[in-house]
Structure 1
Amino acid sequence: MGEPAASARPAPDLVVVGGTVLTLDRGGTRATALAARGGRITEVGDDRAIAALAGPETTVLDLAGRTVVPGFVESHNHPSFFGMALAAPVDAGSPPNDRISDIADRVRQAARDFGPGEWIKGFRYDDTLLADNRHPTRHDLDPASPRNRVLLTHVTGHFSVANSAALRAVGITAATPDPPGGAIARDERGEPTGLLIETAAFLVNSAMPAQGPDELAAALQLADAEYLRNGVTSVHDTGIGLIGGEQELAAYRMLTRAGKLRTRIHGYLFHTLLPGLAEGTPEPPDPSNPDGFTMNGIKIVADGSIQGRTGCLAEGYTCDPDEHGMMLLEPDDLSRRIAALDAAGWQVAVHGNGDAAIDAIIDGYARLGAPEGTGRRHRIEHCQTAREDQLDRMAEHGIAASFFIKHVYYWGDRHRDVFLGPDRARRISPLASARSRGIHFGLHSDTPVTPVPPLEGIWCAVARQTSSGQLLGPEQAIDVEAALRGYTIDAAYLAGEETLKGSLEAGKLADLIVLSEDPTAVDPSRIRDLTVDATVIGGQVVWQRDPVATGGVR
């Protein structure tokens, strides 16, 4: 028997017509329409052929001249942390706060709303954006919160500030030693100031009320809604358990099994939570993942942040030449953990901001031997100050990267003028150099460190413009299509999912977004001003700016 007639085929669940479809396949194919059924793309083509497939139950998206691209894949985010920041009683960020006193006023208001002894949490403070040009201390917070315990988390997540009541709750005194990989800031008398650095920032968590799966699930749902609004259909959670421990994983599984988390999650468990890793015999990945959630990666943090002067640099900071930052794990220990995880079948993602830390990470991966035929896709996260010789080694050893491209805009001026100096600063996120070597990389926002919108990240990669409007290393800019790939197919590659998502091709997941205009056809300066008008996951419209779906083709 021959093939059934086209009219005998089941009608698609979704048809998209009337605009531009940027498939981002290998050939850069452009079309005007596509169809999907059962959550997968079935056909990509022209309006007439695709519209003819629709049936009475088919959802039709009329683009009206707009543009469809694959759903954005965020290759480095922290959904739980993001959701908690959205729900926190104190927004400590700048804006809206200009001074530490503004943050203290917000703490004071929260203290009025909370009962005595309750914890007050705030997020996103940035000492480098405050007019005081310093971190808050317990002395700033105590007058505003005499009856409450307060913990403020830095925008980078690498610092926190506790008031006196919170320090007492956890037993931090002048006699408390610095934890490995961290420090307790002290005044001239040796008393804690309230600032907790790197691993010390997590000491207070032990005294806080435990967060159960329900609270963490609520935070994840807040983040989920923001991802959909910005066209993010898949997220790499690079640090599951960093905020809520094992309960974070329980919240994920609860939500995905109940179908209440719409964004697809590719998870990387924080390394301290993996049984057996410290002993060199880590448990292997669990293949039993619910739909929409996978976790076969491990996240390790090798150093801190450049803007916090804890990123580990080979040469000192411009503002403090004797300061080189810190390694949170000794290089030999890092290499041992990488080898054990690789042998157990885990993908490894190591946070590395400073070039000295990047050296240690590359050394650890290089000791695994030749990558050919192994299927390895080990990663360096942020990879902010990678030198040319380091990119050569990354290419040699098949090491991928997820670049924190938004550093260029949000911290580029301070990197140039304060932390790194002009020569090193112009090389942060060296996308053009990485691309010229064939290094696979994704782009990310590290939300809640910077805002979610991938369109802003794409603009950063193309424009290399700082928040003051100055160019920073324009020779490291890439073209619009390459930047789009960094948020779609190339980001999917980092998780080994490029055959499943990241481009609009028959057989792949029907994850796509509708943009107000074609980002490859507008002036590059306008890319971040484009809007996401609809988000589709698995062929289902899950978010719309304005109604764009109709009941069928007439």
Structure 2
Amino acid sequence: MFIVGAGFLSFYLWITPCGFGQSQADLARKLNLLQAYPDLIVVNGVIHTMDANLSQAQAMAIRNSRILALGTNDQIRFLAGPDTKIVDAKGRVVLPALVDSHTHPNLWGVQHWLGAKGKDIAKEFNMPELASELVRATDNSSAIRGVERVAAARAKELGPGKWIVIYLFGPPGSTLEEWEKMFVPQRSSLNRQFLDSVAPNNPLLVFTGGGTGNNVHNTKAAEEWIRIVGNEQTQGLMESPQLLWDILLRDHEDVAMAIMRREMLECLAAQGIGTFGDRYDRSVASARTIRLLYEKGELPVRWGYFVSSGSNTVGKYEKLQGTTADQVSLLVQKMLTHEIPDFRGVGNDYIWMAGTANEAWERNGSNRGAGITCTKAELPPESARKPGQVWEPVRSCAEGINYDEQDGYTSEREILDRKLRPGFLHGYSDGTYDALFHMLDQAVAKGQFTVEQIREMRIGTEHNPIIRPDQIPLFAKYNIMPSFNGYQLQGDIKGGAFLQTYGEKVLNWLGPIKSLVDAGARPPFNTDLHLTDLGPEWKSMESPEAWRGSIWAIMEFYLTRYMPSNGLVYNKAEALDKNTMMKAATIWSAELLMKDKDIGTLEDGKLGDFIVLDKDYFAIPADQVHTIKTLLTVVGGETVFQAPSF
């Protein structure tokens, strides 16, 4: 196979006649001045392009960030000029850079750089407030004593008005969920009143577990939030990134850019990820930091962003003075829905809009009402419950739901009515999909859309731990793209809790990714995890220890269906083959981010984003995929990660 870009071929045909009567040296100099040579070539590779034909090549040329040609070693070496960089893959597998369509570097980066590496960062940038403290406790009593001791010491060390940040951990061997249950502020004396008493003159925030913990802060911290951000924040997913990017790093652009870049290099590029998808509404300042990195030519990976919509960001504004939570909820939903431009797929090669995000649509704003979460699974008698077994029944769909009274549903319907692209929608129950299918069926019945027009939207749903078998054809019918990340199938959360509560009869409801593919759907793979190994204390989410710091370990689950955290095999019939798994991690995720014309496969004219692996992903046993390491990650022809061994 030898594929050469049309532009290069036209240029070659145009310049060749001009070469008559000229020396080879003159012609070579002219080609060099006109920048016709590749900037980089890859040789001696086993290049899996992941295109529609699953084509392979030995070598590849990249010029001006895009793929110029693929072919044999001799064909591609012939194109090289005097300044062309040569990457010798040494017979290793080369793949398109991975596309993680759902992860949160602005969130995980807080835990990483303010938490685990806080003292190092504080020293490096001479910013003492970035040096967080760790308190390990075994119960509420020891937590209170530890926080009191550390807060008093930090207040004395820093002086009045300076931020004190504490991370509260449970005993060794305990899980994130156990910490959160142990230290829930609403059920303990670890509350605002207590924090006011131990640090009356300092803003103080205590993180109580993981990237999404039930954090608690004092009155001084609330005042700072209102002064700087404009409103208080108490929701952990919002609170954490706002603290770092909007408050602590305010007026420190260079420090913010340095930290964000490191997070992307160490936790995305080092894993082989060249593009990620995320909302930015948790911290508007972090979006500005990413834009500044782009302007300086220092943004190492690409970002497809989703604009927050509907009920997704209501919690940020519910504490505004002079209004009730209900008034604010409805106002914000309406405002966000009507002010979003339909710029899906529009931007540049590094930052572009992918659509709207309304993750929390399954519940109502302000926690009003029951939302659309329900299940058609039959609940076993509670007498069947085993000791220590999670028992979290979900409301039965048989109770009936008036969708028109659920503002998560109505806000998403308004998104659809305005012909915006729905996306980043949580799928945490089978009843949630019933609501989505009802909405789409109604839109078609009313003549608002044809089925094909809905298919073209590529509506995205997130996490998707629980899907009924009878719902699978509807995902394919409407080309809904349900993303899978795995961790929500196990433990005591979401799918894991559902399995423990409803029993093995629902095992085939959990992550039926192969059935979706067989039906014609294209489910993307993503992580929603902090992909670095800082120790068990710093995991972002409750996930198997074996997955810590490795995207390949997460992929292995979908190839084997073996869950290392509990030893269960989750319906072996749903295991994917290697090619399908890699499509989910590359081209299908690119489709979800509306960037499949530029990334996701290695083809002529596409962006030169590729990775080199230390093992043959396609040849090794499926249960050994977790041992794979990324040796090289290149984005747009520029190396953003290179292992010391390569």
TM-score by length of 1: 0.79
Aligned to 1:338: 412
Instruction: Tell me, in whole angstroms, the C-alpha distance in 2 between the residues paired with 1:232 and 1:154.
Output: 26
- 8 Å CA contact retained: 2:108, 2:211: no
Query: Are 1:292 and 2:330 matched, yes or no?
Result: no
Pair 338,311 (structure 1): closer, same or farther in 2 beyond 3 Å: closer
Pair 97,276 (structure 1): closer, same or farther in 2 beyond 3 Å: closer
Instruction: Trace 1:197-216 onto structure 2 (pairs within 5 A).
Output: 209=247, 212=250, 214=253
Instruction: Tell me, in whole angstroms, the C-alpha distance in 1 between the residues paired with 2:305 and 2:105.
Output: 10
- 8 Å CA contact retained: 1:17, 1:47: yes
Instruction: Trace 1:341-490 onto structure 2 (pairs within 5 A).
Output: 341-349=415-423, 350-369=425-444, 370-373=450-453, 375-408=456-489, 414-415=496-497, 418-425=500-507, 427-448=509-530, 449-450=540-541, 453-466=550-563, 467-490=565-588
What is the root-mean-square deviation of aligned Cα atoms in Å?
Answer: 4.3
Moved more, 378-387 or 337-346: 337-346
Query: Are 1:130 and 2:227 matched, yes or no?
Result: no
Q: What amino acid is the match of 2:339?
A: P
Pair 46,377 (structure 1): closer, same or farther in 2 beyond 3 Å: same
How far does residue 289 in structure 1 lie from its aligned partner after superposition?
3.3
How far does residue 31 in structure 1 lie from its aligned partner after superposition?
1.9
**Residues 508-528 of structure 1: per-residue CA shift (max 9 Å, x gap):** 110001100110100111111
- 8 Å CA contact retained: 1:235, 1:264: yes
Instruction: Tell me, in whole angstroms, the C-alpha distance in 1 between the residues paired with 2:258 and 2:441.
Output: 41
- 1:540 corresponds to which of 634, 638, 641: 638
Aligned to 1:192: none
Query: Are 1:220 and 2:260 matched, yes or no?
Result: yes
Aligned to 2:165: 120
Query: Are 1:151 and 2:177 matched, yes or no?
Result: no
Pair 310,527 (structure 1): closer, same or farther in 2 beyond 3 Å: farther
Instruction: Tell me, in whole angstroms, the C-alpha distance in 2 between the residues paired with 1:389 and 1:156.
Output: 34
* 3-state secondary structure, aligned to 1:87: helix
How far does residue 498 in structure 1 lie from its aligned partner after superposition?
1.5
- 8 Å CA contact retained: 1:66, 1:514: yes
- 1:160 corresponds to which of 214, 238, 242: 214
**Residues 362-407 of structure 1: per-residue CA shift (max 9 Å, x gap):** 3334433233146311111111111112222222222111112243
Instruction: Tell me, in whole angstroms, the C-alpha distance in 1 between the residues paired with 2:211 and 2:499.
Output: 19
**Residues 46-89 of structure 1: per-residue CA shift (max 9 Å, x gap):** 22222222222111111112111000000111121111121223
**Residues 409-447 of structure 1: per-residue CA shift (max 9 Å, x gap):** 666895476455333355322111111111121111112
Q: What amino acid is the match of 1:456?
A: A
Instruction: Trace 1:60-139 onto structure 2 (pairs within 5 A).
Output: 60-89=86-115, 99=138, 112-113=153-154, 115=158, 118-120=163-165, 122=167, 130=178, 134-137=182-185, 138-139=188-189
- 1:282 corresponds to which of 308, 330, 339: 339
Aligned to 1:513: 611
How far does residue 232 in structure 1 lie from its aligned partner after superposition?
0.5
Aligned to 2:276: 235
Larger Rg: 2
How far does residue 260 in structure 1 lie from its aligned partner after superposition?
2.2
| Percent of aligned pairs with the same amino acid | 20
- 8 Å CA contact retained: 2:372, 2:406: no
Moved more, 479-488 or 140-149: 140-149
Q: What amino acid is the match of 1:223?
A: E
Pair 128,221 (structure 1): closer, same or farther in 2 beyond 3 Å: closer
Pair 106,168 (structure 1): closer, same or farther in 2 beyond 3 Å: closer
Pair 200,489 (structure 1): closer, same or farther in 2 beyond 3 Å: closer
Instruction: Tell me, in whole angstroms, the C-alpha distance in 2 between the residues paired with 1:484 and 1:80.
Output: 26
Instruction: Tell me, in whole angstroms, the C-alpha distance in 1 between the residues paired with 2:75 and 2:103.
Output: 39
- 8 Å CA contact retained: 2:99, 2:586: yes
Q: What amino acid is the match of 1:228?
A: A
Q: What amino acid is the match of 1:224?
A: M
- 8 Å CA contact retained: 1:391, 1:437: yes
* 3-state secondary structure, aligned to 1:89: helix
| 5+ long unaligned stretches in structure 2 | 1-9, 119-133, 226-231, 315-330, 364-369, 381-388, 445-449, 531-539, 542-547
Q: Which has the higher contact order (CA 8 A, sep 6+)?
A: 1
Q: What amino acid is the match of 1:39?
A: S
Pair 258,367 (structure 1): closer, same or farther in 2 beyond 3 Å: farther
**Residues 134-162 of structure 1: per-residue CA shift (max 9 Å, x gap):** 444453585999226223265363x5131
Query: Are 1:526 and 2:526 matched, yes or no?
Result: no
- 8 Å CA contact retained: 2:612, 2:632: yes
Pair 48,285 (structure 1): closer, same or farther in 2 beyond 3 Å: same
Moved more, 52-61 or 20-29: 52-61
Aligned to 2:597: 499
**Residues 344-371 of structure 1: per-residue CA shift (max 9 Å, x gap):** 4532211121222232233334433233
Aligned to 2:56: 30
Pair 512,292 (structure 1): closer, same or farther in 2 beyond 3 Å: same
Aligned to 1:190: none
Higher helix share: 2
- 1:320 corresponds to which of 369, 385, 391: 391
TM-score by length of 2: 0.68
How far does residue 212 in structure 1 lie from its aligned partner after superposition?
3.7
How far does residue 17 in structure 1 lie from its aligned partner after superposition?
1.2
Instruction: Tell me, in whole angstroms, the C-alpha distance in 2 between the residues paired with 1:23 and 1:338.
Output: 37
How far does residue 37 in structure 1 lie from its aligned partner after superposition?
0.9
Instruction: Tell me, in whole angstroms, the C-alpha distance in 2 between the residues paired with 1:136 and 1:151.
Output: 11
Instruction: Tell me, in whole angstroms, the C-alpha distance in 2 between the residues paired with 1:253 and 1:72.
Output: 22
How far does residue 469 in structure 1 lie from its aligned partner after superposition?
3.2
- 8 Å CA contact retained: 2:154, 2:164: no
* 3-state secondary structure, aligned to 2:576: coil
How far does residue 123 in structure 1 lie from its aligned partner after superposition?
8.8
- 8 Å CA contact retained: 2:107, 2:211: no
